[in-house]
Structure formats: structure tokens, C-alpha cells
Amino acid sequence: MSESEHSIQSKIQVELSKHGCTVFRANVGKMRTPDGRFFSTGLPSGFPDLSGFRWIDGKAFYIEVKNATGKPREDQIRFHHMLTSHNIIHGIARSVDDARMIINGGLVGYGFSDYEGGIA
């Protein structure tokens, strides 16, 4: 069985924080309040799992965490297109090594090439 996305995400957060990055985890989704209304986190649909910046130059990055077989949803691909249009560092990470490579290499769209409209 492959490692869970949650486990990979936690490892990435810890390792990047040790290596010159500030990292934030996005809590996304909707939930029902006690009075029955729905509450949304406010982040746009497709927002990546992790975001942050490199201390060395202040450049922002976004990381979509997937397990070995995970595929991006359509809304995540749309978000990827928006980030790409602004030349923002981002990509799909299936491991700590992937995340480091995306961030240290300043890669734009890493891992999206196998999906409709992907580039890297």
C-alpha cells in the first residue's frame, strides 16, 4: 500500500521548515455548523495543500501533495494554469524530495505534464 497523502504532507512540512522555508497547510472544504448552515474555509477551489515562501529570496511556492497514484482534480488543474500564467513556483509532490526539487529549482508546474493542459 502506498503512503497516504496526509503522511507525505506532514513530512514535507517538517523538512521544508528545517531547510529555509516557511510553510502553511491549507485547510479546505465545507462543514455544517451546529445550526445547520454550511461554512466554507474561504480558499478558492483547487487551492494547493501547502503554500509558503523561501527565506533566501522571499519567492512564494505552492505544493499539491499526491500519493503515488493520486491525480489532480479539474479545479486543481485550473489553479495550476493560473499559477503558471504568473510564473509562480508550484507543482505536484509525491515525496519530500519532489517538494525540495520544486522549491529549490524554482520549478513552475512540475508534475502536471501528464494531465490535460499540464506543462512541466
3-state secondary structure the chain: CCCCHHHHHHHHHHHHHHCCEEEEECCCCEEECCCCCEEECCCCCCCCCEEEEECCCCCEEEEEECCCCCCCCHHHHHHHHHHHHCCCEEEEECCHHHHHHHHHCCCEEECCCCCCCCCC
Q: What is residue 119's predicted lDDT score, i.e. its pLDDT?
A: 45
Q: In the Cβ-directed half-sphere of 75, how many Cα atoms lie within 13 Å?
A: 8
Per-residue pLDDT of the chain (120 residues; tens, 9 = 90+): 689 999 999 999 999 999 999 999 987 667 788 888 877 767 888 999 999 999 999 999 999 999 999 999 999 999 999 999 999 999 999 999 999 999 999 999 999 988 765 444
Check residue 44 and give its pLDDT: 87
Is 82 within 8 Å of 100 (Cβ atoms)? no
Provide the whole-model pTM. Answer: 0.86
Are the C-beta atoms of 116 and 77 separated by less than 8 Å? yes
Count Cβ neighbours within 10 Å for each residue of 36-56 and write b for 16 or more, e otherwise: eeeeeeeeeebbbbbbbbbee
Domains in the chain, ordered, with CATH? Answer: 5-110 (3.40.1350.10)
